[in-house]
Amino acid sequence: MGGRVAVLVSGAGTNLQALLDDPEISPHIHLVISDRPGVRALQRATEASVETMVMSPSEHDDRDAYSLTLRDALLGKDIDMVVNAGFMRILGPAFATAFEGRWLNVHPALLPAFPGAHAVSDALDWGAKVTGVTVHLVDEQVDHGPIVHQEAVQILEGDDLDSLEARIHEVEHRLLPQAVGLLLQGRLKVEGRLVLIQEARDA
């Protein structure tokens, strides 16, 4: 099991915490980058003695310039894998190409249903009975890449945004570390849109 992991964050960092709490994954997390200063996720990384950086999009001319700067920062740190853990920025093709097959995102819905930044409220507004969590490899399109894990979450009568988000977070905190572990172990094989999980190699 090898590889240097960078985690991209924007907020509270509960998914980052799930990765830091996993004894198989935590030693591989070498960098946490936020697009916003002062967020709780950065504090979590510091408490775990992980290097942090803040890279604000406002300091760059456009998305492509920001994506290139972020890519170069990760390559400069010899990062092998990238994990979006509540990262609320869309990065350009240059970043996707650099980390093709090595970049994971967790999304609070069953893609391709309810893509975008408001997936939980969109599911409630739609009157859906079921939503869930998707962990997928990231490609050049938003919430689009090949799916590694999915799990359904029932929408209960009387659910509001807070209650539904809480149950979705519980699933995210389980599925994301599983997917990161598989990628670190080299057990994900992509054939078109299909992700095959290979048997664990003998120690």
Q: Over the stretch 102-160, which tens digit does the pLDDT of each residue have?
A: 999 999 999 999 999 999 999 999 999 999 999 999 998 888 899 999 999 999 999 99
Position 37 pLDDT exceeds 90: yes
> Is 100 a residue whose pLDDT tops 60?
yes
Position 202 scores a pLDDT of: 60
Residues serving a catalytic function are: 107
Predicted TM-score (pTM) of this structure: 0.94
All structural domains of the chain with their residue ranges = 5-188
**pLDDT at residue 58, as a whole number:** 87
Domain spanning 5-188: CATH superfamily: Formyl transferase, N-terminal domain (3.40.50.170)
pLDDT at residue number 168: 98
182-197 mean pLDDT: 94
Contact predicate 15/176, CB 8 Å: yes
Q: Give pLDDT, residue 201.
A: 73
Determine the pLDDT at residue 1: 56
pLDDT tens profile 62-85: 989 999 999 999 999 999 999 999
3-class secondary structure per residue, the chain: CCCCEEEEECCCCHHHHHHHCCCCCHHHEEEEEECCCCCHHHHHHHHCCCEEEECCHHHCCCHHHHHHHHHHHHHHCCCCEEEECCCCCCCCHHHHHHCCCCEEEEECCCCCCCCCCCHHHHHHHHCCCEEEEEEEECCCCCCCCCEEEEEEEECCCCCCHHHHHHHHHHHHHHHHHHHHHHHHCCCEEEECCEEEECCCCCC
